[in-house]
Amino acid sequence: CPPQSPSCSSRCSCPSLFPERGAAAAARPSPRNRGAPAPRRGERQRRRAKQVDIVQFDRSDILVNKQVGSLSLQVWNEADASSRPYFEDVGGATVRIYTGELACSGAYQGSEVILKEYPFVRGQSFSSLAKNEVSAHARAQASEENCENICLLLGTYEGRIGERWLVFDSSCIYPVSYWAGLASKKSVRKQKNWSLLTLIDPEIDRHRRQAFILSILKGSLKGLASLHKNDLLHQNLGPDSIVLSSVDEKQVRGLRVKLRELSFSVSVSEASLRGGGTLAELWQQSANRDENYEGVNIREEHEQDLWRRATQSGCSSYFQKKNFGIADDIYQLGLVVMYVIFKSASDPDTVFDMVTLKRYVDITFAGSIGEDFRAFLEADEMFQDTIAWLDEHEGWALLEAMLHQDWKQRPTAESCLLHPFLQQTLKYQYSQ
Per-residue pLDDT tens digits for 8-45: 443 444 444 444 444 443 344 443 444 444 545 555 55
Beta sheet of 62-77, edge-to-edge order: 55-56, 153-158, 164-169, 112-118, 86-102, 62-77
Contacts of residue 164, Cβ cutoff 8 Å, sequence gap at least 6: 117, 118, 120, 126, 127, 130, 156, 158, 288
Query: Is it the case that residue 323 has pLDDT exceeding 90?
Result: yes
**Residue-level pLDDT at 142:** 87
- Percent of the chain past pLDDT 70, that is, above it, reads 70
pLDDT tier at 414, thresholds 50, 70, 90: very high
- Percent of the chain past pLDDT 90, that is, above it, reads 49
**Residue-level pLDDT at 412:** 97
- Helix ranges (H only) for 186-239 are 196-200, 204-229
Q: Which residues pair with 242 in a beta bridge?
A: 259
In angstroms, the Cα distances linking 205 to 189, 198, 349 are 9, 9, 22
Q: What is the mean pLDDT of residues 47-68?
A: 79
Query: Is it the case that residue 160 has pLDDT exceeding 90?
Result: no
Residue pair 242/260 in contact (Cβ under 8 Å)? The answer is: yes
Residue pair 14/1 in contact (Cβ under 8 Å)? The answer is: yes
Model confidence, pTM: 0.80
**Residue-level pLDDT at 89:** 54
The more confident residue out of 154 and 83 is 154
**Residue-level pLDDT at 88:** 53
Most confident of 85-89, 191-195, 286-290: 191-195
**Residue-level pLDDT at 404:** 96
Q: What is the mean pLDDT of residues 172-178?
A: 94
- In 49-173, the DSSP E strands lie at 55-56, 62-77, 86-102, 112-118, 153-158, 164-169
**Residue-level pLDDT at 51:** 53
**Residue-level pLDDT at 289:** 39
The DSSP bridge pattern shows strands 112-118 and 164-169 to be: antiparallel
The more confident residue out of 173 and 295 is 173
Q: What is the mean pLDDT of residues 116-144?
A: 83
DSSP 299-319: HHHHHHHHHHHHHHTT--SHH
**Residue-level pLDDT at 8:** 43
Summary mean pLDDT of the chain: 79
The more confident residue out of 54 and 151 is 151
Query: Is it the case that residue 5 has pLDDT exceeding 60?
Result: no
**Residue-level pLDDT at 275:** 62
The more confident residue out of 16 and 253 is 253
DSSP character for 425?
Answer: P
**Residue-level pLDDT at 231:** 93
- Render pLDDT for 237-252 as a digit per residue (tens, 0 to 9): 999 999 999 999 988 9
E strand or H helix at 259, and its extent?
A: strand 257-259
Query: Is it the case that residue 90 has pLDDT exceeding 70?
Result: no
Q: What is the mean pLDDT of residues 100-124?
A: 79
- With H, G, I as helix, E, B as strand and everything else as coil, classify residue 151: coil
